[in-house]
Amino acid sequence: MRHGERISYSLLAALVRGYSEVAPLPSNYELTIRFSSILINVRALARSLQKRPPDRYTQYQLKVLREGIAELLVGIP
Q: What is the pLDDT of residues 14-63, one digit of tens each?
A: 888 999 999 999 998 888 888 998 999 999 899 988 988 889 889 988 99
Cβ neighbours, 10 Å, residue 73 = 9
Which of these, 44, 70, 68, lies nearest to 57 by C-alpha position?
A: 44
CA distance 64 to 56: 12
At 13, the pLDDT band (50, 70, 90 cuts) reads: confident
Residue 5 is predicted with a pLDDT of 61
Residue 14 is predicted with a pLDDT of 87
Phi-psi region of 4 (alpha: psi -120 to 50; beta: other; left: phi over 0): left
What pTM value is reported for the model?
0.72
